[in-house]
Structure 1
Amino acid sequence: MTARELISTVPILQPSDAGAKALRLMNEYHLTQLPMVVENKYVALVEEDQIMDLEEPEIKLESIQYNGANRPAIQEGAHLFEALKLFHEFKLSVLPVITKENDYLGIITKDNLLAALAQYNGAKEAGGILALEMDPRDYSLSEIARIAESNDVTLLSVNTLTDPSGKLEVLLKTNRQELHSLVATYERFNYTIKYIYSEEQEEDLLKKNYDLLMNYISM
């Protein structure tokens, strides 16, 4: 999925706009940043904090000093993972999308980015989650997938994270709620299970808590 496919349309700011107008638009659209555009060219990303620092709310945005740090943007053909990197790096609430010629196309919002990531990670699909822990040198996606397939389990997504100790956590989102047989197979192949989560487990926990409450009430 490319940046262009994630575009949302929000109002743009002009250098001649007053700070008060920019704050009103940010409040209306629940954003802390809005793009400044001149003749369809992206100029800067205006921050709420910059406007609050103005001496008077009617002072024009052109009076604010902008630099390279105020111009985060992403090319229209870039992958959404690049957008995620920029959101994190610049602590953004929105990310302008531009062409190679710096023509402004629109913005990516956090909501749009999270929705796209949820699709990629299978977060919207029903199924349990299993986390394996291992040394990075022991990681073999082909073997992990083969073991899942041998248990008739489909891996909807696979994500990895290296913790501070250097261990690799491999997070598997599956299409199955019941994972006991898969866990047993991974353990048979000497994989360490870090944790398991499934909606079925959550429902069991809620039922147990409900039964305990009813028993307490009836005492």
Structure 2
Amino acid sequence: MQAYEFINNLIPPLKPTDKTKMALSWMEEIRTNMLPVVDKGEFKGFVSDDLIYTKNSPEAKISKMELLSPACFVYLDKHIYDVIKVSSEFDINMVAVVDREGKYLGVVTMEDAIGAFADTLSIQSHGAVLVLSMFMTDYSLFEIARIIESENAKILSSFISNDPLDDSKIKLTLKLDKTELRHIKATLERFGFKILDHYQEDNNISEEQERIDNLLRFLNI
């Protein structure tokens, strides 16, 4: 799950000597709103269609543009989580990947990164999603797993975030291998765990739609 594994080779880098009209043509062809700029193997930042339209000079060179987010990059061996984190920090939909000497290798798009993120969370696996709220001091995945396994179910993946209803607590999202949650919920509540929400599969929903919906729930979108 390292960054270099998800480089999108369909997105070409621009050179400072390229003209903005060529950049717009490439963006239209590959259906993106920005492209990376690389000079002699060094990542310099991104240029967006908005910047080019504002400049309103199709013959201008990329070197005349004020590039976006020159620090929006990760090293090739960073985890895909780091790619998503950097993308969020810079509010940009692609992240450059460089080697340890700073040489540009390519970019990872957020579409590809989120797809990889979904796979790590077992989004495509059949099962239900359970959301718990607790103090961090009460968090023990071992204990929670023991309780869930006592109901003949297993945790496929887990995800921790801040509880939006209480800043002093965390929200634990669990993907389970069972679709029926009634007994599991009752057992967890008996042990004092607060259940914020749950999502059970609907067999009438297509697998693709199910994957998207579950991912959005995991990311709390």
TM-score scaled to structure 1, two decimals?
A: 0.86
Please say if residues 72 and 87 of structure 2, whose CA atoms lie closer than 8 Å, have aligned partners that are also in contact: no
Tell me the amino acid that sits aligned with residue 144 of structure 1: I
Gaps of 5+ in 1: 204-219
Contact 2:128 2:180 in 1 (8 A): yes
1:66 positional shift: 4.0
Matching residue of 1:172: 174
- Which position in structure 2 is the counterpart of 1:214? none
Confirm or deny: 8 A CA contact 2:14 2:23 kept in the other structure.
Answer: yes
Aligned alpha-carbon RMSD (Å): 1.8
Summarize the Cα distance change of 1:71–1:162 in structure 2 as closer, same or farther, 3 Å threshold. Answer: closer
Q: CA deviation at 1:157?
A: 0.9
Partners of 2:156 and 2:25 in 1: how far apart? 42
Report the AA paired with residue 131 of structure 1: V
Q: 2:197 aligns with which of 195, 198, 208?
A: 195
Query: Is 1:178–1:200's contact at 8 Å kept on the other side of the alignment?
Result: no
Contact kept, 8 Å, 1:177 with 1:200, in 2: the verdict is no
Counterpart position of 2:137: 137
**Structure 1 position 41, deviation (Å):** 2.5
Per-residue Cα deviation, 1:172-212 (whole angstroms, up to 9, x for no partner): 10111111111111011111111111114877xxxxxxxxx
TM-superposed CA distance for 1:47, in Å, is: 2.3
Alpha carbons 2:133, 2:163 under 8 Å: kept: no
Q: Which amino acid aligns with 1:112?
A: D
Picking from 163, 184, 187, the partner of 1:185 is 187
Query: Which residue identity does 2:199 align to in structure 1?
Result: Y
**CA displacement at 1:136 relative to structure 2:** 2.5
**Between Structure 1 and Structure 2, how many residues are aligned?**
202
**Superposition TM-score, scaled by structure 2 size:** 0.85
Gaps of 5+ in 2: 206-221
Equivalent position SS for 2:55: coil
For 2:124, the equivalent position in structure 1 comes to: 124
